[in-house]
Chain A
Amino acid sequence: MYTAIREAQANALASDATACVFGEDVAFGGVFRSTMGLAEEFGKDRVFNTPLSEQGIVGFGIGMADLGHTAIAEIQFADYIFPAFDQIVNEAAKYNYRSGGQFSAGKLTIRTPCMGVGHGALYHSQSVEQFFMAVPGLKVVIPRSPIQAKGLLLASIRDPNPVIFLEPKVLYRSSVEQVPIDDYTLPLSSAEVLQQGKDITLLSWGAPLYSCVQAINALRNPTGALADLIPSDVRDAEVELIDLRTILPWDRETVAKSVSKTGRCVIVHEAPVTQGAGAEIGSFLQDKCFLNLEAPICRIGGWDTPFPHVHETFYKPELVRIIDALVRTLKY
């Protein structure tokens, strides 16, 4: 996936002379290799290192965008986006509104790696989408794969609103597929139904989608110790799997339509459950789909603790917890 992200930035730089890529350590290719060779290809004045200051990086990007230049800023880990929270929430998000459309930070895109990576502990693992989901004026996007990453990133860069683009870092090297070389975009604020089903809606985004697929397969064909734990009457359940893709503004229509059809919903994210994005989605669904719901909407996510180091397997909503949530919701 890191090459797809690199390619998206190359397309953006090639198609727009004002576009620049900057952040901490991006010039030599980035700590995740997502900007490899860009400085050589497009010049050091367009792909450059900044001082180590997140509020500086985002403020600088807003200033560029304000003058109509395309600013692609990188924050090295989503865990370190908080020093720039003020610039993002009070400035970038409100720039267009507060000036009556006279000035805009819409040409700013902030890329940042997010989510667990196996051993990232407190400050190399966080999911931050829920903090920004509460900020009118921002868009928040999370891809699940290389094709998605390239298309959604190019769309984010070209969207006339400021976008936070969260990249699940565990997928940088593990997620591999054939990606079109051409310049293409995928729509923002549009969820994607990955698998049709009529019995239950499983909604997620980013890295946990892979655990969701595992869970769906294991539900149908449980092996090993799971075989004794999955009741036979839920194994035929048809699960509708949805990738939300854009967290804000999110695709309420696609999700509500699915849940109205299935009557059951499990929402999976890595961020802690309390006030996670699932809370907003679940609340919306109980309002819009009240008469269709046959079971309580189930939210699973990280526990309400900081992201731990050695306990990661038991912290994240992986295979076992997703299966358990599916079974409980189907059996309700």
Chain B
Amino acid sequence: MLRTGFLGNAARAVASGSRCDTVAASLTALRNAAPRESIKPSTHEADKQSRKFQQLQRRCFSRSAASGLAASNSQLQAQFQGHLPGYPTSPYLTSLDSSFFDSVRANESQVHGPDGRPGTGIPTFRLMDGTGSLLEGVTDEALEITQEEAVKMYEKMLLLPAIDVILYNAQRQGRISFMMTSYGEEGAVIGSAAGLATTDEVFAQYRESGVLLWRGFPLDNLMSQVFGVHDDLNRARQMPCHYSSTELHFHTISSPLATQIPQAAGAGFALKRSKGREGDVAVCYFGEGAASEGDFHAGLNIAATTRSPVLFIVRNNGFAISTPSTEQYVGDGIASRGPGYGIPTIRVDGNDAFAVRAAVRGAKKRALANSTPVLIECMTYRVGHHSTSDDSSAYRSKKSVEDWKKMDNPLHRMRNFLTQRGWWSDAQEEETTKRYRAEVIAAMTKAEKKLRPTLSSMFEDTYTELPANLQEQRAELARLVKTYGKVEHWSKELQKHEEQGKDLEKFLTGDAK
């Protein structure tokens, strides 16, 4: 899905998301023009303002109801607004003479182009073009990046497909049950990770393992999670790719979409109240499909009203499984919703890892300085299938995917950027990919040989203690394993677990002994 604003726009948008702010400011001006002035005794200036407002209403979005209701407005405005003493009063007072909007785009006249397609949306922030050359006016200094960090970013970006290709095939061979790849989104994920501190609290959806890898998550831990073995930090309870790490401030991934969004708001609020954490923010990743969930609305709104420092990072990759974004929303992507919640917003080229990094760094500064959430929409493309349970050729052509990989590939861009500066060579590329392949295979082979956790561990952590019903059920399983442990499909499975089920013997009760 190509957007005019996506590939066509150069660096005219700036990192601060100023175009969004401009849009918001013009709306504010419209709202305030007449009604706020009309409370005061009528003056020449106020009349002029009022006329201007009505003209704008008619020109842009007026509906007949608006002008009819306007008359009673000043009375209502004058009434006490019902705020508690000491509580801040909203500048956007309840008013009956509202205008009607069907767009928050910068230029109203371009909302619908001649072909009926959306015109100029919120522009996309980029620093380099599709070949990895910096855009006009962007300097190496402006990137604020060292050779060391740029190379590290590219290396971590390369690690993702190295893991993806091996685990994807492992799933195809039935060695693991499930897998989701990051193809095409390496720039958005690593770029954003590079813009954060390693102590920022991350709430991810499921396609952001790059953040963990950037923070140094060992391949052994990753493989233990995927294979569900005894040393998995999650104790082998979740499906593959549902990673977490307290040490790396990466909160457990869960399958229900968007649930992490209001949770990140609460975490941001808690950070704000934690001594010693003043420099940290909560970071919440999700896809454009998840943004249709009610929790997106709940989370952004509550983060805004509680003034919680949270970065909401949307990976808009064009698809939610088979659903193209044209069936996900009609507005200008996810970014256009930010200003509606009073949230500073920026849209970034997600295949430009440096632009994502710069946007995230700018957003974090803003979030901390102004105590506000910030919304970042990374425009990218899901090159891989949704998951190993999905064949995306059923709903999009293989050619379009191939075209996309050639036309706009975050890895190629980054590689070109580095080689242009002599920071990277073909030899390094070959050495790195070879080494990664060997490391990933070694970690996978190691994890594959490990045993699963004990059977009795299945009951633990439901509560911090083990209630009576769970104690009884554990004893019941102990009895069953003692009696039926030799039944073929059970005995085969028992071999895969630590202690082969013998750990349950100590929980046998009464006659079962």
Contact = CB atoms under 8 A, between A and B. Distances in A.
A257 interface: no
B341 to A, nearest CB: 10
B463 A86 contact: no
Find the residue from B86, B282, B295, B463 having the highest chain A CB count within 10 A. Answer: B463
Contacts of B58: none
A61 interface: yes
Nearest to A107: B270
Interface stretch (B174-182, B205-213, B258-266): B258-266
A49 to B, nearest CB: 8
B84 interface: yes
10 contacts: A27-B84, A27-B87, A59-B266, A59-B298, A87-B295, A91-B256, A96-B463, A98-B252, A102-B252, A106-B464
Nearest to B467: A249
A91 B254 contact: yes
B500 to A, nearest CB: 21
Interface in B257-308: 259, 261-271, 273-274, 282, 294-295, 297-299, 301-302, 305-306
Given A60-B265, A99-B244, A253-B468, A66 B297 contact: no
Contact of A60 (B87, B251, B302, B467): B302
B328 interface: no
A91 B201 CA distance: 17
B200 interface: no
B270 A64 contact: yes
B262 A64 contact: no
A59 B306 contact: no
Interface in A28-81: 28, 44-45, 48, 50-51, 53, 55-69, 71
A160 interface: yes
Nearest to A50: B302
List 5 tightest A-B contacts by C-beta distance, closest first.
A63-B266, A59-B262, A56-B298, A100-B235, A249-B467
B155 interface: no
Contact of A69 (B256, B273, B305): B273
A83 B460 CA distance: 29
A68 to B, nearest CB: 8
Nearest to B297: A53
B459 to A, nearest CB: 10
Contact of B234 (A44, A91, A99): A99
A275 to B, nearest CB: 18
A59 B265 contact: yes
A53 B301 contact: yes
A98 to B, nearest CB: 5
Given A97-B462, A103-B244, A103-B251, A28 B84 contact: yes
Contacts of A160: 464
A63 B282 contact: yes
A63 B306 CA distance: 13
Contact of A98 (B237, B245, B267): B237
A241 B87 CA distance: 49
Interface string A180-191: 000000000100
A263 interface: no
A91 B270 CA distance: 18
A87 to B, nearest CB: 6
B233 interface: yes
A44 B305 CA distance: 13
B464 A63 contact: no
Q: Which of B236, B262, B264 has the most CB of A within 10 A?
A: B262
A94 interface: yes
A45 B273 contact: yes
B198 interface: no
A59 B261 contact: yes
B265 A252 contact: no
Contact of A63 (B265, B460, B468): B265
Instruction: Tell which of B234, B264, B270, B297 has the most Cβ of chain A within 10 Å.
Output: B270
Contacts of A66: 251, 263, 266-267, 270
A90 interface: yes
B266 A61 contact: yes
A137 B256 CA distance: 17
A172 interface: no
Contacts of A97: 237, 461-462
B323 to A, nearest CB: 20
A63 B270 contact: yes
A55 B201 contact: no
Nearest to A102: B246
A136 B299 CA distance: 26
A18 interface: yes
A199 B282 CA distance: 59
B265 A98 contact: no
B461 A56 contact: no
A224 interface: no
A307 interface: no
Interface string A142-170: 00000000000000000011000000000
A136 B462 contact: yes
B487 to A, nearest CB: 25
Given A60-B262, A63-B282, A64-B269, A137 B244 contact: no
Most buried by B among A68, A99, A104: A99
A65 B305 CA distance: 19
B232 interface: yes
Nearest to A89: B256
Contacts of A68: 270
B282 to A, nearest CB: 7
A310 to B, nearest CB: 33
B448 to A, nearest CB: 20
A59 B464 contact: no
A48 B306 contact: yes
Interface string B440-483: 00000000000000000000111110011110000000000000
A55 B84 contact: no
Given A62-B262, A99-B251, 20 more contacts: A45-B273, A53-B302, A56-B299, A56-B302, A57-B302, A59-B259, A59-B263, A60-B299, A64-B266, A87-B259, A87-B262, A91-B256, A95-B252, A96-B464, A97-B237, A100-B235, A100-B237, A100-B461, A101-B460, A249-B469
